[in-house]
Structures are given as structure tokens and as C-alpha cells.
């Protein structure tokens, strides 16, 4: 059995490799089997269990999420991924789960952005400054020629660290306020906030949003102004309609209807356009699908034993 820690995983799965692996998976004739995730409330946090199986083998990710952890100086997410071989189902790998989640979530946003954002998108706004925000910076730079970055976080010190990381990569970067969305070509919301994090009326025409933080039907990062203007895409409709508060809340209140969800990722990778005009506002709403973890866990394991 191979143990892969965070540092090794980062070297085995560069962001471009992860995005390409997910593109191949979403473009395949058949997706791996992915039953609904199991969810258990544990004190102030949650335990999530996400199994999947297919040609890649079988696997399950165990993840805990505790929104009070950052205040303790701890990561929001902890977890591990168990990978089993395709034919024998023997346990062949255990992978550090928080880093896998960070890469996976950002890589699927990168894949959506590859197809949905304007080709000339160069100004990025990041809400959040944790693992997901750092990974989304990498993913956006992998698919678009990002030149300028604004970072918004409740913790200014964490925002400054991410802004400095962007600066060291040669980008103009700022620690900003939520109204920076007025300048954004791409917005990534990577927060644990249960309520909208910016005023959607300030969003410019043609912007693309990746909304990844809210993962329950009762929570949202985007307001009704965004929902009214948006052409939504999701990983898979069934998963989004079960968990995506950013869609379900405005849907239930009548702000949008089912036609606002234009496509899911297999359709997009297969050639279905989401953006009709340069002025369309597009939103990729991600809740995470377990086979994404399986695909990337297998890619990392194969690279480790090559």
C-alpha cells in the first residue's frame, strides 16, 4: 500500500495535469458510479463520506469540515482518501484528503473556466484565503492569462499571504473589498459563509463565477442579483439539485426557474456552449462529485508508482 502525503500529492498532480484528467473523465462515454454522499453532523462540524467506483478502481473519501477551525489556527477541512485496485479491490493507496479536495475542487473549476470564461479574462477576484483559494489561484492561471488578482478574506493576514503569493508569481495583486467584483472577469467564491459574500449588482457583464464554498441546500455565496443574470452550469444536475443552495434558494423563491441551469459538465466538455454572448454572466456551481476524487486519486497513484 502506498501512502501519499500532501507534499508528494502536490508534486504528483500539477494543476494542469489534474484539469486534463478531469476533462478526460467528464468526456468519457460512461462516468464512474457515484452514489449520494453520506453526511453526519458531529458537534460543530460535519463528517462527509463519498464513495465511487468504475474503471479507475474504487475509493472513498472521508472528510471533516469544521467552520470554527480557522479561528483555532487549524485547516477548515481534514480527511483521507482510500483507493482500491480495479480488479482485486485490494487497498493500494491512502492519500491525504484535504490536499486532494483542494486540488480536485479547483481543478473542476479550472475545467469549467476553460470552457465558460471569456478567452480574454485576465482579472481575478478570490473570496477566501484558505486552501481552496490558493488552489483556485493556480487553477485559474492554468486556463487563462491572469494578470491581476484581488483577495477578500475576513482574516486580513491570510489574505495578505495569498496576495503575496500571487505577487511572487508575477501578478499584480491586492487585498481588496467585496466591491472589487466590479473589475472582475473571473470570481471564485471559496468561503464557508452561509450567506452571499458580495453585491451581485456590481458584477460586470461578461464575468464568470466559480462558486464552490456552499455545499448544503440552506447555504449560498451568491445573491439573487447574480442568480437573475446567470447562466448556470453544474457538474451533474442530480447532485446540484440535491445540495446547491446557490441554485435551490433562488429557485424555490421564484427568482429563477429550471431553465437557468443550462448544462452539466459532460455536456459542456462534449461541446454544448454555455456562453452565448460576450456579455453573458456565467456561473459554475460546484458541490463536488465523488468520482472526481477517484479520478485524481488514481492519477496520483499511477504517477507515484510509475
Task: Specify if 110 maps to a domain.
Answer: no
Are 10 and 127 contained in the same domain?
Answer: no
Question: What per-residue confidence (pLDDT) applies to 94?
Answer: 98
Question: What per-residue confidence (pLDDT) applies to 223?
Answer: 96
Question: What per-residue confidence (pLDDT) applies to 179?
Answer: 84
58: Cβ–Cβ under 8 A, 6 or more apart, which residues? 51, 52, 83, 84, 86, 89, 294
Are 277 and 296 contained in the same domain?
Answer: no
Are 142 and 244 contained in the same domain?
Answer: yes
Q: Which of 207, 199, 148, 198 is closest to 173 using CA atoms?
A: 148
pLDDT, mean of residues 58-86: 91
Q: How confident is the model at residue 37 (pLDDT cuts 50, 70, 90)?
A: confident
Kindly report the CATH number assigned to the domain that includes residue 68.
3.30.1780.10
Q: Which of 100, 117, 142 is closest to 233 using CA atoms?
A: 117
Question: What per-residue confidence (pLDDT) applies to 177?
Answer: 82
In percent, the amount of the chain with pLDDT more than 70 equals 100
Tell me: the pLDDT tens digits for 105-150? 999 999 999 999 999 999 999 999 998 999 999 999 999 999 999 9
Q: Residue 295 corresponds to which cell in the numbers above? A: 479520478
Are 67 and 32 contained in the same domain?
Answer: yes
* Helix, coil or strand: residue 64: strand
Task: Specify if 109 maps to a domain.
Answer: no
Q: How many domains would you assign to the chain?
A: 2
Are 267 and 294 contained in the same domain?
Answer: no
Q: What is the mean pLDDT of the chain?
A: 95
Question: Is the Cβ–Cβ distance between 179 and 199 less than 8 Å?
Answer: yes
Are 82 and 149 contained in the same domain?
Answer: no
Question: What per-residue confidence (pLDDT) applies to 96?
Answer: 96
Are 19 and 148 contained in the same domain?
Answer: no
Question: What per-residue confidence (pLDDT) applies to 83?
Answer: 99
Tell me: the pLDDT tens digits for 185-197? 999 999 989 999 9
Domain that holds residue 64: 2-101+290-305
Pairing of β 123-127 and β 186-189 = parallel
Instruction: Output 141 or 306, whichever has higher pLDDT.
Output: 141
In percent, the amount of the chain with pLDDT more than 90 equals 85
Amino acid at each position: 500500500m502506498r501512502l501519499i502525503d500532501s507534499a508528494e500529492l502536490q508534486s504528483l498532480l500539477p494543476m494542469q495535469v489534474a484539469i486534463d484528467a478531469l476533462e478526460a473523465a467528464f468526456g468519457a462515454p460512461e462516468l464512474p458510479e457515484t452514489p449520494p454522499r453520506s453526511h453526519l453532523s458531529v458537534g460543530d462540524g460535519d463528517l462527509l463520506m463519498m464513495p465511487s467506483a468504475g474503471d479507475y478502481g474504487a475509493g472513498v473519501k472521508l472528510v471533516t469540515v469544521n467552520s470554527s477551525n480557522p479561528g483555532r489556527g487549524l485547516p477548515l477541512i481534514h480527511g483521507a482518501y482510500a483507493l482500491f485496485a480495479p480488479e482485486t479491490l485490494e487497498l493500494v493507496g491512502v492519500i491525504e484528503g484535504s490536499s486532494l479536495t483542494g486540488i480536485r475542487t479547483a481543478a473542476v473549476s479550472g475545467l469549467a473556466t476553460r470552457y465558460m470564461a471569456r478567452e480574454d479574462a485576465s482579472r481575478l477576484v478570490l473570496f477566501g484565503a484558505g486552501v481552496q483559494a490558493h488552489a483556485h489561484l493556480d487553477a485559474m492561471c492554468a486556463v487563462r492569462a491572469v494578470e491581476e488578482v484581488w483577495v477578500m478574506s475576513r482574516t486580513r493576514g491570510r489574505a495578505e499571504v495569498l496576495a503575496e503569493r500571487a505577487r511572487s508569481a508575477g501578478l499584480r495583486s491586492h487585498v481588496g473589498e467585496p466591491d472589487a467584483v466590479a473589475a472582475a472577469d473571473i470570481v471564485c467564491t471559496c468561503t464557508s459563509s452561509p450567506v452571499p459574500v458580495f453585491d451581485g449588482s456590481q458584477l460586470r457583464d461578461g464575468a464568470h463565477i466559480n462558486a464552490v464554498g456552499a455545499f448544503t441546500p440552506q447555504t449560498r455565496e451568491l445573491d439573487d442579483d447574480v442568480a437573475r443574470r446567470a447562466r448556470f452550469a453544474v457538474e451533474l444536475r442530480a447532485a446540484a439539485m440535491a445540495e446547491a443552495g446557490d441554485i435551490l434558494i433562488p429557485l424555490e423563491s421564484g427568482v429563477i426557474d429550471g431553465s437557468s441551469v443550462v448544462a452539466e459538465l459532460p455536456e459542456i466538455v462534449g461541446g454544448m456552449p454555455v456562453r452565448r454572448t460576450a456579455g453573458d454572466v456565467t456561473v459554475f456551481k460546484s458541490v463536488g462529485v465523488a468520482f472526481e476524487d477517484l479520478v485524481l486519486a488514481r492519477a496520483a497513484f499511477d504517477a507515484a508508482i510509475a
